[in-house]
Amino acid sequence: MKGWMARKKPLMKRDAFVWMLQGDLGFDNTDPFVTSKEEAGPDQWIESGPHLMMFPKDPAALSDAFTSDFSLGEPYTMFPGTDFAHLMIPASGYYGEETTLSPEELLDLLMSPPYIYILAALVLLLASGPLAGGRDGSKAGTQLA
C-alpha cells in the first residue's frame, strides 16, 4: 500500500493475500493511478464487490498465467504489466447481485467449488509454479502470507 501511495515499486518479501469483503470504490483495470471513471480507459472501469486479492512477490509472473478481462467472472489480473499487478478473485456479489457477505458466508463460498479449486491451484502455483520466484519456477519454496 505504501508503494502505491508513493507511486513507487512495492517491496514484497513474499506473496500476500488480502480480502475485500465489501468491495471497492472503483479503478481503471489497467492503470493503478486512475481512480475516476471519467479518466479511465474505454471499458476498463470496474467497481468490484467482495473479492480476494493475491499480490505476488513477482507481479510479472501473472501476465502469462491469467487474463486481464474482468467481465468473465473468473480470476483476472488487475493492473497487468505494472509493478502493482495482482490477481483478483471474485466472490459472490462481485458484480452487484448482492451487497454484502458476512465473513462466514465468504469462507463458506471460498471452501466450495469452484473457489476451493482456485485456491488449491494458487497454493500449487505459489509452491512450485511460475509464481514461486522465477518465471520458470526455478526458485521453489515461496512462503504464503
Q: pLDDT for 42-90, tens place per residue?
A: 889 988 888 888 898 888 888 778 899 998 888 899 999 999 999 998 8
Grid cell digits, residue 9: 515499486
Rg (CA), the chain: 15
Look at the chain and count its residues: 145
Whether the per-residue pLDDT at 128 is higher than 70: the answer is no
For residue 117, what are the CA distances in angstroms to 21, 31, 87, 97, 109?
20, 29, 15, 23, 12
What are the boundaries of each domain within the chain?
Answer: 2-132
DSSP 143: P
Residue 17: band (very low, low, confident or very high) from pLDDT cuts 50, 70, 90: confident
